[in-house]
Amino acid sequence: MSEERKPLNFIEQIIEEDLANGMSKNNLRFRFPPEPNGYLHIGHTKAIGISFGLGEKYNAPVNLRFDDTNPAKEEQEYVDAIKEDVAWLGYKWDKELFSSDYFQQLYDWAIHFIKEGKAYIDSQSSEAMAEQKGTPTQPGVDGPYRNRTVAENLELFERMKNGEFDEGSHILRAKIDMQHPNMLMRDPIMYRILKKEHHRTGNTWCIYPMYDWTHGESDYIEQISHSLCSLEFKPHRELYDWFLDQVVDQSLIRPKQREFARLNLSYTIMSKRKLLQLVNDGIVNGWDDPRMPTISGLRRRGYTPNAIRKFVETVGVAKRDNIIDVSLLEFCIREDLNKTAPRVMAVLDPVKVIITNYPEGKEEWFDAENNQEDETAGFRKVPFSKELYIEKDDFKEEASNKFFRLKLGGEVRLKNAYIIKAENVVKDNEGNIKEIQCTYSEDTSKKVKGTLHWVSIKHAIKAEVREYDRLFIDEAPDSHQDKDFMEFVNPNSLKTIKAFVEPSLKEAKIGECFQFQRLGYFNVDNDSSSEQLVFNKTVGLRDTWAKQKPKQNNNQPQKPSNSQQQRKAIDVIQKLGKKYTNLSEEKQLKVKAEIQELAKNVSYDELQPLFNTAVKKVGTRIAVALALAVLLQNGQERNGDVNDFINKALEDKNELLVFEAKALS
RNA sequence: UGGCCUAUGGUGUAACUGGCAACACGUUGGUUUUUGGUACCAAAGAGUCUAGGUUCGAGCCCUAGUAGGCCAACCA
């Protein structure tokens, strides 16, 4: 078997390098460290996928560690929800751990720091400390308590721990460097007083360690080899390493923090705080609302772990900011459901069809294939009768032959049943179509272009269908400095429909996924009961017909084409020039004309700097020559610079350039 | 008066560590089809932010610039 080299992402490359440099594969260990202060969302799935994915790839353990150092925000409810979500995604953690497990060890180390003169108690207000800290562009200054004696520090810290002081009156800081260019190194806080009950340690502690102090040391205690987090923690790495330096035993694994770009999805927000606001403001009905990008929301919407994992895998891992198009997510769920979801028929927006030549009272039960993508899926029975529903959109009195659904005088196939022909329509006083009268033919071998889905009115079950649209109408709702993301909330993100579904769906269970043929994928919502079936639309089928129809809603995002036009002519010329020499002769002529046209809007001052373009950049020089010709024609005088440029071009070995230069001389 | 990170088709990620840019989504055609779905075929779309440099050769290395992001919570 030839070994295929699958490209490695930069984190895998780092690991491979470490392995090559002698690290044992057995020492590989990862962790996923959520703070239990909210629900996991699709963005977290990337972090989960990276660390757990590495665990699977290298057969290494992955800990689930709750970063619970702030009792004010964290709750058991979130711990449970997070565990459920990670497990649902199909990942298995090695140990379930909590940073709070390490509070004693952290405390002991802190004492050690104080004794070594590497930490001290500060007793100022947070405002005073913030002022001394400086700004990103200005260094900080030492505070008045920075040089307390070890004995004094030890005593105060002891009393902090014993609860003798109020919140905010003292803190423990690492003693590093108040002038450090990295603000995180300007004597960062290690402990603060918080007289709150902790979800796990109760009232044992009233001082709690800060993230920076806790995280690296927790990694070290657990012997995590690679500690992976998102980009905004990059500046923390220096501090992470500093803290580690103070305690690390050379014979043990020293964890490495590495950072990747977090996932952003178009038309979506990822901030827990903002998601919470949607919940609190009643924009959505809870964290698991199917419109939410939370894992629980996606689950309820009908997304599968498979699809989400595939998505995260496809998205890749790198270090630059990104916005992933939701269409990729939709592709992943369609791809998965196409293979697995049983097909059924449902009519969401019904219009009545009467089959005039079908006997009154007769019914037939046809075999219908459950899933042509899956041979083992089998068949079910669907009932047929004289009166049916089809979709309103599937009928037009008159239409061009591009419309191959039902029209007067035309024939279509009813999926799994007969071919019918529309003969007549009955309308109410206002001209709305009340029923379509058709005749059927038992010859089903005939070739007809359209196939429609339908339900027998007599047998159909009423069901509620919830159709969702994106929650925001802006591609990046929280990226506008001047506008609040709430301004972009889509008021029509939920549409509730009374639909008719085939009777086989009567026994459908909560969570089950179906393809409503020709419409999309739907799953049974939690709100569903034996009296009232409720479906969520997970995602529609690809609909190439909809694209052909003239667009009715002109809310199309404006094309960024004007920004293209606004690009300065000289820049465009430069760009065109670059590829000039690689083009076919025919295309060269086109580009040449384009450059000549653009050159009319170029000033000499813009062009002049390009005269000394590097010799090897022939294409650019040709473009300059072409533009120069236009300028000269329009009265630009030939000065020394111009002549130098021309002469140099004449001496070039590239024929095209020489040709254009000759035209100038 | 700063530090750090990033820059490749519309989007995302690659490019065997320097050898004339690939894959997926999306887009556009077409074939098949009892889903205008799926599957399959094909096409268009970037010459790698700019300018210099090193090199026989640069998307990969160096220098300078530009643009974007992150850093001033007793949050994580």
Distance A320 CA to B49 C1' (A): 14
**Is A299 an annotated catalytic residue?**
no
Q: Which amino acid is at A589?
A: L
Question: For residue A537, how far is the Cα from the chain centroid?
Answer: 20
Given a cut of 60, whether residue A251 has pLDDT beyond it is yes
- Supply φ then ψ for residue A198, to 5 degrees: -95, 145
A353: CB within 7 A of chain B nucleic strand: no
Cβ within 8 Å of residue A438, ≥6 positions away: A353, A354, A355, A356, A406, A420, A421, A422, A423
| CA dihedral over A227, A231, A233, A238, signed as positive or negative | positive
Exactly one of A262, A319, A617, A648 is catalytic; which is it?
A: A262
- Name the token pair of A525: 């919502």
Question: How many degrees, rounded to 5, is the angle at CA A530 between CA A529 and CA A534?
Answer: 45
Closest CA to A161 of A104, A211, A115, A218: A104
Is the CB of residue A382 less than 8 Å from the CB of residue A366?
yes
Chain A 274-313 contacts with nucleic strand B (CB below 7 A): none
Query: What single letter denotes the amino acid at residue A587?
Result: K
As a three-state string, the secondary structure of A125-187 is CHHHHHHHHCECCECCCCCCCCCCCHHHHHHHHHHHHCCCCCCCCCEEEECCCCCCCCHHHCC
In the structure, how far is the CA atom of residue A201 from the C1' atom of nucleotide B10, in angstroms? 52
Of residues A538 and A613, the one with the higher pLDDT is A538
Euclidean distance between CA atoms A70 and A389, whole angstroms: 58
Tens of pLDDT along A384-435?
A: 999 999 999 999 999 998 999 999 999 999 999 999 999 999 999 999 999 9
Structure tokens at A344: 């059924």
Higher pLDDT, A324 or A657: A324
Q: Where are the alpha helices (H) located in A505-553, listed in sequence order?
A: 544-548
- Is the pLDDT at A27 greater than 70? The verdict is yes
Q: Give the helix/strand (H/E) hosting A26.
A: none
Residue A564 has what pLDDT?
A: 31
Closest nucleotide relative to residue A66's CA, C1' based: B76
Query: What's the complex ipTM?
Result: 0.96
A605 touches A568 (CB < 8 A): no
Residues A463 and A426: beta-carbon distance below 8 Å: no
pLDDT given for residue A570 in this prediction: 67
Q: Look up the protein residue whose alpha carbon has the minimum distance to the C1' of B50.
A: A571
Query: What is the helix, strand, coil percentage profile of chain A, to 5?
Result: 40, 20, 40
| CA–C1' A403–B22 (A) | 39
Q: Cα–Cα distance between A542 and A520 in angstroms, integer?
A: 8
Q: Kindly indicate the confidence band of residue A642, based on its pLDDT and cuts at 50, 70 and 90.
A: confident
A379: Cβ under 7 Å from strand B? no
- Check if A470 is active-site: no
Q: Is A441 near strand B, with its CB below 7 A from some atom of it?
A: no
Q: Is the CB of A549 under 7 A from strand B?
A: no
Q: What was the pLDDT predicted at A232?
A: 95
- Which of chain B's bases lie under 7 Å from a protein CB? 1-8, 10-17, 24-28, 34-39, 47-48, 50-53, 55, 57, 68-76
Q: Is A262 part of the annotated catalytic residue set?
A: yes
The Cα–Cα gap between A646 and A649 comes to 5
The answer to whether the CB of A81 falls within 8 A of the CB of A40 is: yes
Residue A230, CA: closest nucleotide via C1'? B70
Report which of residues 184-223 in chain A place their beta carbon less than 7 angstroms from any atom of strand B.
184, 189, 192-194, 208, 210-212, 215
CA A585/CA A576 separation, integer angstroms: 14
Q: Which residue is nearest to nucleotide B20 (CA to C1')?
A: A582
Rounded to two decimals, the pTM is 0.89
Annotated catalytic residue within A65, A175, A272, A421:
A272
* Proximity of residue A20 CB to strand B below 7 A: no
Q: Which nucleotide is nearest to A542 (CA to C1')?
A: B37
d(CA A627, CA A607): 8
**Is the separation of the CB atoms in A405 and A412 below 8 Å?**
yes
Strand B contacts in A 596-615 (CB under 7 A):
612-614
- pLDDT for A41-60, tens place per residue? 999 999 999 999 999 999 99
CA dihedral (A232, A234, A238, A240) in degrees, to 10, reads 70
Q: What is the mean pLDDT of residues A525-541?
A: 97
CA of A525 to C1' of B1 (A): 57
- Average pLDDT score over residue span A568-576: 65
CA of residue A617 to C1' of nucleotide B52, angstroms: 12
Q: What is the pLDDT of residue A143?
A: 97
Q: What is the pLDDT of residues A487-498, one digit of tens each?
A: 999 999 999 999
Question: Which burial class, exposed, middle or buried, applies to A647 when counting CB atoms under 10 A from its CB (0-12, 13-18, 19+)?
Answer: exposed
Closest Cα to residue A515, out of A496, A528, A502?
A: A502
